[in-house]
Structure 1
Amino acid sequence: MSLSVRLLRSGRTIDDSLRDGHELEERPSEAGRLFVGQAPAVPPTWFDFVSGFATGGLRRLVNQSCAAVLFLEVIPDDKRFAKRTVVLTFGTGHHSLDPDALERSFGLKVVLNAVARSNLRSLDIATLDATTFQKRIQASRDADLQGFGIDVDRDLLRLAAGSPKDNSFARSLAGKDALTLHTKTSPADVIEKCKTALKLHQATDYKVDFGFIDFISPVRQQDLLEQLDSLAFVELQELVKGHASDLHITLPDILSPEESAEVGYFGIGLKSGRKQVYTQIAIEDYVEELRAGQIAEIADMAELRGSHEIRVITDGEGDKKQRRKLYDCFVYELTYKSDTYVLFAGDWFVVDKAFHAAVENDFAKLVAKKPFVASTKTESEREFITELDAHKNLLNLDQVKLSPASAPGANLEPCDFLSTTKQFIHLKDGHSSAPISHLWNQGVVSAESFVRDEKFRIDLRKEVKKRQTRSKKAGFDAILPDGRSKPVPSEFTVVFGIMRDRYKKSGVISIPFFSKVSLRSVADRIQLMGFPVEVHLVEKL
């Protein structure tokens, strides 16, 4: 059978780990404490719609669910460790648990300690940026970590699944916060299964092949967590006032495309009455809900964390069974007392100092001392492009769409501006909602197409001639090779021009740490092709 196993956080009790109004009933148990529940039979939401097509109507159709939660005290064989409470859930029982009462990444740590790198079957990763990208990578059979193509510098590992080294423990394992075991078991040996899981959670074998997960490690000190939450709450208040911020929200779990649904925001201080319905979650919509409500009623992040939720809207109302804490959807990065912290999926993470220093050092090597433009008073990327269009040494190629011979219909942008000094300049307003990583990807794809594809070079030269004629400029086509001649990459420079405000505390112009992380591999790829790479930071005045 499949067992779903969770671990209570130290200091949490069984009674305070269940959600308020959970509706489960405790039953006598020979081991641990057992809670069960039977949901009432209700018609499916689509019943009225479907019955409208049935001649004479339909007989009553109902959905009915049941739930069980079993709490077991587990005493480790290793006396250095204290006893812990393990939670087994069945049916919809996990919906009755308070997520804050559970150990984060318990299942993931067990899997990484139990499964060899060559026996992985599935990985979920999140790439943190202004928009968080999440991916599930599945192999058709057990495969090595290298085959999953993850970037150990920038990808946060969220879930892992595979075949454990010890087949007596389980046939297969999958783990995130919860651990799922596919195993032969019975009430008589389930405690031993839980002991093994707890032992694996405490092990450090994962460091050999999966040590990269410690580049970003969870914060556990309560006083530090409270301080970080306070700083994030101030940032949210700044957003409500209309100021720019890198704080945003994203669902922490990968959803099936078939599960797309309308959602609403619920909690104290938010706009009351009938809820506005949204087709996706976005920080802009949440902030508007706060502005329309009474943000003053929210004392601090702890109160917001306990109250604010995103719920799926069903039949015009929020579905309490399909809800997530809004706090778990926050993504925010900050520097506090010389350390870099990231809030993601309801947890704060601290970035390893050596990793942080290496990333910052690599970024500093790419930053140009003299950007092509030092500053701008324009407020958007579109206005900035118009301003740069007046420069005689820059040719505007914005909105030019080209397709290599191998990818018809690709509609790639070669760059935003071509300079007389052979710079391919890619621009981005670094404070927009779109991630800076889009800019990096544009630079890579453009550089590869320019080097490898004859059709791309021929079409680029044609477009350059058209644009320079239209703008009454000359000489830009001459710096490009004809289509059949291969370019010498070292003669050209790929430039990433990023508009940014100075940081309020440090007064420097820079970009978010995880954007620097994602740039590392991109810069390496472009430089391996022979192009120099530069980052030009343009101050927004």
Structure 2
Amino acid sequence: MAKAPTVSLTLRLLRNGITAEGALKDDHGLEEIDSTAGRLFVGQSPAIPPSWAKFLAHYTPDGIVNLRTQSCSAAMLIDVGKEQKKRLFALCFGQGHHALDEDAIQRGFGLRVVLNSVSRGKLRTLDSASLDTTVMQRRVQASRDSDLSAFDLDANRNLLRLASGTPKSGDFAKALAGKDALHFRAAVDPDKLVEHCEKALKLYEATDYKTDFAFIDYVQPVGERVLTEELDTIVFQDLKAMVQGNPSDLHLAIPDILSPDAALEIGYFGTGLSPGPKTAYGELAIEDYVVELQKGDFGQIADMAALKGSHEIRVVADGEGDRSHKRKLYTCFVHEVTLRNNIYVLFDGQWFGVSKDYHKEIEDAYTALLKPAFRVKTTADNERALITELEGEANLISMDQTKVAPKGAANAALEPCDFLSQTKQLIHLKDGHSSAPLSHLWNQGVVSAEAFVSDEVFRKGFRAAAQKREKKFKKQGFAGLLPDGRTKPVPGDYTIVFGVMRHPYAASGQVGLPFFSKVALRAAAERISRMGFPVELHLIEKK
């Protein structure tokens, strides 16, 4: 009996109820051909010059470089199961995955199969994302199979996006990697392809992951279409408010880890956006998108369904968009919504619900940090205006924009804090509605506290800077609160204070923080507390 060939395949599960007709984009451009397994769609692109050929042509005598590139595409759609339990798989080759409708794909399929198949000690790669105004994506790749603990994943604040490793059993595959798609290397008998898909479906539906990876249940995909549409309506109203000049926590982020050399310029395309040559932007930013919406006719966009079906980001060259390099803009929205006392997060075109136990854990930690603010309300429009407002307070001295170099890093100047109080509070301030993420503020507090405790050079510079500020503002008694360089501070004598300016939420009328900012705050506060410093959060209402 001939041995089954070992092949590398990419498999996607389509959402429940999706048929072959609904699996492909309307403009997929592939041709269906006869197949003994499922339905097979193939395509061959014409030979064209590569994008860099024009540049090279400048250096040839006749200005011509005779080079051509072309690609192939194939997508095989395979039914698995019977009657009500029937599911459709897409086996993609080459560029075939671009033909699939993004809304038809079952999100997280590949990741779930990997976590149900790979033990914690056999991991090779983990991708994660921390959700904030700036989404921080992280990939840790081991040179050989390693334990989960070696990847330094903070399961309490990071959304696990992709995993790869060696499965516990070789019955299905020799190696697995998965996010939405499942990439696997296995010995597959071509006549038993459907059986292999059936195994993949069983692995997806299993619950083995709960043994070592139960934390992925902290944030679970929302499957109910009615709830998704209700959440989308809220996001659309927030976007509309931004177009009208009002603040919102809605922002944009590419949900994939990009290659370091992917320095592309992008433009915004779709109904209601201005026609003609497009402005090319060097990054994806909600502020730029809102500007484009304001320049166009936002009234043409009826609702989120219309936006989802029309708006795209494309690579732009000479004002023209490249239709072969595009992405639905909806997949770049990042937002958090509280609905009927539940927290939902939108990321990568998918709504996630935060588990009640996890939500309570974070809220309890947040409540413990929240203290009466040293300034309850302010009419300041931004952080700079608030600092100017506070400089007149007798019990505070401004350390804003004071740069102190830590030992061995003369050019890595740190800001010890924004204000030092007479009660030994090290106050760090941030406008919570600015484009910079609040996680920057939390990190500033961590780094400053670490340097204050451990770095003699930093302490000396901090005290010297305080003495200069006393002269500038004609105040006394502040520099003496700080130890000299050789004397270490007693952390318990000082308090690290995070002061955050925020508008009240429209629904509750209360000042608060986005949920994932609370998650990041808890992690930072735990680090600072381990050094011995008390930590407080002061919310300052912006009028």
TM-score by length of 1: 0.97
Quick check: 1:437–1:519 contact (8 Å CA) kept in 2? yes
* Secondary structure of residue in 2 paired with 1:189: helix
Structure 2 residue corresponding to 1:209, chosen from 209, 212, 215: 212
Report what 1:526 is aligned to: 528
Pairing of 1:359-438 with structure 2 (within 5 A): 359-369=362-372, 371-438=373-440
Q: Is 1:226 aligned to residue 229 of structure 2? A: yes
Q: Which residue of 2 aligns with 1:337?
A: 340
Shift of residue 56 of structure 1?
3.4
Alpha-carbon distance in structure 2 between the residues aligned to 1:57 and 1:374: 68
Q: 1:149 maps to what in 2?
A: 152
Residues 445 and 496, structure 2, Cα contact 8 Å, conserved in 1:
yes
> Residue type of the partner of 1:386?
T
Structure 2 spans left out of the alignment, 5+ residues: 1-6
Query: Distance in 1 between the 2:503 and 2:28 partners?
Result: 47
Match of 1:318 in 2: 321
CA deviation after TM superposition for structure 1 residue 50, in Å: 0.6
| 1:416-446 deviation per Cα after TM superposition (whole angstroms, max 9, x unaligned) | 1111110000000011111111010000111
Instruction: Encode CA deviations 1:279-320: one digit per residue, 9 max, x unaligned.
Output: 111001111111111111111101110110011114542112
Equivalent in the alignment of 1:7: 13
Among 67, 71, 80, the alignment partner of 2:73 is: 67
Residue in structure 1 matched with residue 4 of structure 2 by the alignment: none
Which position in structure 1 is the counterpart of 2:35? 29
Matched letter for residue 308 of structure 1: H
Q: Distance in 2 between matches of 1:314 and 1:26?
A: 33
Task: Say which SS state the counterpart of residue 113 (structure 1) adopts.
Answer: helix
**Separation in structure 2 between the aligned mates of residue 6 and residue 314 of structure 1, nearest angstrom:** 32
CA distance in 2, matches of 1:524, 1:412: 21
Look up the equivalent residue of 1:422 and give its one-letter code. Answer: K
User: Within 1, Cα distance between the matches of 2:161 and 2:44?
Assistant: 32
Alpha-carbon distance in structure 2 between the residues aligned to 1:142 and 1:408:
39
Distance in 1 (CA, whole Å) between partners of 2:198 and 2:363 is: 42
Deviations 1:421-475 (A, max 9, x none): 1000000001111111101000011111101111111111111111111111111
| Separation in structure 1 between the aligned mates of residue 453 and residue 518 of structure 2, nearest angstrom | 25
1:83 — aligned with what?
86
Structure 1 counterpart of 2:90, which letter?
A: V
Q: Is the 8 A contact 1:403 1:412 kept in 2?
A: yes
In structure 1, the gaps of 5 or more residues are none
Give me the whole-angstrom Cα distance separating, in 2, the residues matched to 1:367 and 1:13: 51
Q: Post-superposition shift, 1:403?
A: 2.2
Structure 1 residue 110: Cα displacement: 0.4
SS at match of 2:326: strand
Q: How many residues align?
A: 537
Inter-partner Cα distance in structure 2 for 1:502 and 1:75: 51
Residue 122 (structure 1) aligned to one of 125, 131, 138: 125
| C-alpha separation in 2, matches of 1:279 and 1:271 | 19
Q: Secondary structure at the match of 2:476?
A: coil
Give SS of 2:231's match: helix
Q: Find the counterpart in structure 2 of residue 447 from structure 1.
A: 449
State the partner residue of 1:267.
270
- Cα distance in structure 1, aligned partners of 2:54 and 2:503: 54
3-state SS of the aligned residue for 1:363? helix
**Distance in 1 (alpha carbons) for counterparts of 2:141 and 2:510:** 42
- Segments of 4+ moved more than 3 angstroms: 56-59
Which letter does structure 2 place at the counterpart of 1:399? Q
**What is the distance in 2 between the residues matched to 1:255 and 1:446?**
31
The alignment partner of 1:29 has SS state of coil
Q: Using the aligned pairs only, state the percent identity.
A: 54
Please state how far the C-alpha of 1:406 moved relative to its aligned partner.
4.3
| 3-state SS of paired residue (1:322) | strand
CA contact (8 A) 1:270 1:293 kept: yes
CA distance in 1, matches of 2:172, 2:318: 44
Listed as ranges, the matches of 1:170-181 within 5 Å are 170-181=173-184
Contact kept? 1:374, 1:537, Cα under 8 Å: yes
Kindly state the Cα deviation for residue 17 of structure 1 after the two structures are TM-superposed.
Answer: 1.2
Q: What are the within-5 Å matches in structure 2 for residues 98-117 of structure 1?
A: 98-117=101-120
Shift of 1:393: 1.2
Q: Which residue of 2 aligns with 1:487?
A: 489
Verify the 8 A CA contact 1:45 1:315 in the aligned structure 2.
no
Aligned to 1:197: 200
| Structure-1 separation of matches of 2:341 and 2:507 | 12
Q: What is the one-letter code of the residue matched to 1:477?
A: A
Alignment of 1:149-168 (within 5 A): 149-168=152-171
Which residue number corresponds to residue 472 of structure 2?
Answer: 470
**Matching residue's letter, 2:312:** E
Aligned mate of 1:351, from 330, 341, 354: 354
CA drift at 1:183: 2.0
- Once residues 207 and 365 of structure 1 are traced to their aligned partners in structure 2, the CA distance between those partners, rounded to angstroms, is 30
Deviation, 1:66, is: 0.6
- Counterparts of 1:406 and 1:135 in 2: how far apart (Å)? 28
Matched, 1:496 2:498: yes
Higher deviation after alignment, 182-191 or 136-145: 182-191
In 2, Cα distance between the equivalents of 1:57 and 1:384?
A: 60
> Aligned AA for 1:191?
V
Q: Could you tell me the TM-score, scaled by structure 2's length? A: 0.97
Alignment check: 8 A CA contact 2:331 2:348 kept:
yes
- Report which stretch shifted further, 385-394 or 50-59: 50-59
1:458 aligned onto 2:460: yes
User: What amino acid does structure 1 have at the position aligned with 2:442?
Assistant: W
Task: Please state whether the residue corresponding to 1:257 is helix, strand or coil.
Answer: coil
C-alpha distance in 2 between matches for 1:537 and 1:75: 54
Take 1:40 and 1:315, find their aligned partners in 2: how far apart are those partners? Answer: 23
d(CA) in 1 for partners of 2:437, 2:63:
51
Mapping 1:242-261, distance limit 5 Å: 242-261=245-264
Q: Greater CA deviation, 407-416 or 418-427?
A: 407-416
Q: In the alignment, what sits opposite 2:307?
A: 304
Structure 1 stretch displaced more, 286-295 or 406-415: 406-415
* Distance in 2 separating the partners of 1:406 and 1:170: 50
Q: In the TM superposition, what is the alpha-carbon distance from 1:59 to its structure 2 partner?
A: 4.7
Alignment of 1:31-46 (within 5 A): 31-46=37-52
**Does the residue aligned with 2:122 lie in a helix, a strand or coil?**
strand
2:22 is aligned, of 13, 16, 20, to: 16
- Is the CA contact 2:134–2:436 (under 8 Å) kept in the aligned structure 1? yes
Q: Counterparts of 1:167 and 1:150 in 2: how far apart (Å)?
A: 27
Q: Does 1:182 align with 2:188?
A: no
* Structure 1 residue corresponding to 2:281, chosen from 269, 278, 283: 278
Q: Give RMSD over aligned pairs.
A: 1.3
